[in-house]
Structure 1
Amino acid sequence: MSKIHVLLAEDELALGMIIQESLESRDFKVSLCENGQIAWDSYQKNKPDILVLDVMMPKKDGFSLAAEIRKIDPYTPIIFLTSKSQTEDVVKGFGIGANDYVRKPFSMEELIVRIKAHLDKLRTRQNQSDWIALGKYEFHPTKQVLKLDESETPLTARESQLLQMLLEHANEITDRTLILNQIWGSDDFFNARSMDVFITKLRKKLQGDPEIQILNIRGYGIKLVC
C-alpha cells in the first residue's frame, strides 16, 4: 500500500521540518515547500493526497495557492495552518474552498487526526456507489435517487451534491461559504439565494421522515440532523 502523500507548504523552515519529521515517522510521505510558488509547482508535478498550507508565505500566499488549486481540483483536501489571532483567515479560507484549518501552535496528533479524517471522507465520496442509510430513507449519490420504502424520488445533480455534502457532515454544522464554493463555484448573493431554494426542495423531498431536519444555523452554516 502506498504512503499517504502530504504536500506541506510552510515558510518557517524549522517548524516545517518538525512537521515533516513527525509525519514521516508515522509513515506519511511529505513534500516540504518553503513558499507558495514551490508548492504550486510541486502540486502540479506530484498530485499529493492532501495539502497542508501555511497562510502567510512569500511569492504566493496560502490563499492564492488554494484558489488556483480549486480552479482545477475541487476534491483534494486542503488544511490551512493559521495563527490563533487571525480569525479572519478562517472565514476567508473556507470561502476559497479549504476543508479545515488548524490554529498555531498545535499538536501533531491533532493535525494527523484531521488529515486522516479528511482523507476518509474523500475515499467515502469516491467509493459511494451503493445506497446510504439516511433515517427512513436510502440515498444513492450516483443514481441521484432517494428511496422511501418502495417509492423512489429523483434528485437533480445539484440536489444530490448538496445532500451528499451535508451527509458527510451529518449532525455537524457545514459552513455555507464552503458549500457555495465547492458546489456553486462562488459564494455571491445570487448563488446563496439559489442554495436556499435547493435546501427548501430537499426538505420537501425528505419530509417523509420527521426525524430528518436541515437547519439554517444563522451566522454559522447548515446542519443536517438525522
Structure 2
Amino acid sequence: MQERILIVEDEQKISRVLQLELEYEGYETIVAADGKQALEYIEAEEWSLILLDIMIPELSGLEVLRRVRRQENDTPVILLTARDEVYDKVNGLDLGANDYITKPFQIEELLARIRANLRKTVQSGSSNETLQVGDLQIDTAAHEVIRSGNMIELTPREYNLLVCLLENKNRVLTREQLIEKVWGFDYIGETNVVDVYIRYLRQKIDKGYDKAYIQTIRGVGYSIKEGSQ
C-alpha cells in the first residue's frame, strides 16, 4: 500500500517543493496550510507520517502535536522549524514528536529521516508483543503499562524510555545510548535529562512497591533486571 504523508506547511513554495519531491519518491501527499486544517485531515484520514511545521497559522505546530497525542494517535511526526532554539526542539520531543529537522535543510536528509521513521513504525507494528519483568508489563499494541494489576499513566517520553529499558532487559544502557534511542540521535541538550526522566519513572513504576526494577549502575547508566530489589 502506498504510504501517505501529510505536509503541514504554510509557506507555499516550501510545501510545493516538498510535495513534488515526496511524490517523486512514491509517497502520496496532501498539504495543510494551517493548524486547524491539519487537525481536520489528521482526524479524518489515516497517515503514514506527518511533516509538521512549528510556525503555522490558526494553531501552532506544537499545539497540533499536543492535541494529536492527547487523542492517542501515534502517527510518526517530524517537526519542521526555522528556529534554532533548543527549547522548541526539546518541547516538541517532550510532546511526542518522533524527530525534527531545522530549515533550511537538504531534501536528502529529510527523505532519510522519513524512511527511518517509517521503518520504525513497521517494526513496532509487526511486534505487538508484551514486554514484562516480574509484575510489571507493557502491552505495546495497546500502549498500556500495568504493575500488579494497576494501570500506570505515563507521558509519551516516559513510556518510550520504559519500553527501551525493557527491550534491553538485563543490559546496562548508558545515558548516551538512552538519549539516542529515546530522544533521537541529533538531540541537543544535557544528558542529565535522562536522570530527570528516570526519576519520573521511578515515582510511577517503583514507588510504593517492595521491589524496585529500575537500577542505577554507578558511572555507567541504567538497567532493568529480573532480580532487582
TM-score (norm 2): 0.66
Q: Aligned to 1:196, which of 196, 199, 202?
A: 202
Q: Give 1:177 deviation, angstroms.
A: 8.4
Cα distance change, pair 54–103 in 1 and its aligned pair in 2 (3 A): same
Cα distance change, pair 49–73 in 1 and its aligned pair in 2 (3 A): farther
Aligned-partner Cα distance in 2 for 1:117–1:71: 24
| Corresponding position of 1:35 | 34
Aligned-partner Cα distance in 2 for 1:105–1:53: 14
Report if aligned partners of 1:36, 1:61 keep a CA contact under 8 Å in 2.
yes
Q: Give 1:88 deviation, angstroms.
A: 1.9
One-letter amino acid of the counterpart of residue 31, structure 2: L
Q: Which runs of 5+ in 2 are unaligned?
A: 139-144, 148-158, 185-195, 207-211, 224-229
Aligned-partner Cα distance in 2 for 1:69–1:175: 22
Report if aligned partners of 2:51, 2:78 keep a CA contact under 8 Å in 1.
yes
One-letter amino acid of the counterpart of residue 222, structure 2: I
Query: Is residue 222 of structure 2 the alignment partner of residue 214 of structure 1?
Result: yes
Note the alpha carbon deviations across 1:2-25, whole angstroms, 9 max, x for none. 211111100000011001100000
Report if aligned partners of 1:94, 1:100 keep a CA contact under 8 Å in 2.
yes
Report if aligned partners of 2:164, 2:182 keep a CA contact under 8 Å in 1.
no
Note the alpha carbon deviations across 1:107-157, whole angstroms, 9 max, x for none. 11111111121121122222115xxxxxxxxxxx42x335xxxxxx45333
Query: Is residue 136 of structure 2 the alignment partner of residue 155 of structure 1?
Result: yes
> More deviation in 115-124 or 63-72?
115-124
RMSD: 3.4
One-letter amino acid of the counterpart of residue 109, structure 1: E
Aligned-partner Cα distance in 2 for 1:55–1:115: 17
Aligned-partner Cα distance in 2 for 1:40–1:126: 23
Cα distance change, pair 45–65 in 1 and its aligned pair in 2 (3 A): same
Report if aligned partners of 2:10, 2:56 keep a CA contact under 8 Å in 1.
yes
Aligned-partner Cα distance in 1 for 2:89–2:27: 26
Cα distance change, pair 84–77 in 1 and its aligned pair in 2 (3 A): same
Cα distance change, pair 192–163 in 1 and its aligned pair in 2 (3 A): closer
Alignment of 1:160-175 (within 5 A): 162-166=161-165, 167=167, 171-173=177-179
* Number of residue pairs matched by the alignment: 180
**Aligned residues: percent identity?**
26
TM-score (norm 1): 0.67
Aligned-partner Cα distance in 2 for 1:126–1:177: 20
| Corresponding position of 1:145 | 132
Aligned-partner Cα distance in 1 for 2:124–2:84: 33
Report if aligned partners of 1:159, 1:202 keep a CA contact under 8 Å in 2.
no
Note the alpha carbon deviations across 1:18-47, whole angstroms, 9 max, x for none. 011000000011111111111111111112
Residue 213 of structure 2: SS of its match in structure 1?
A: helix
> More deviation in 27-36 or 78-87?
78-87
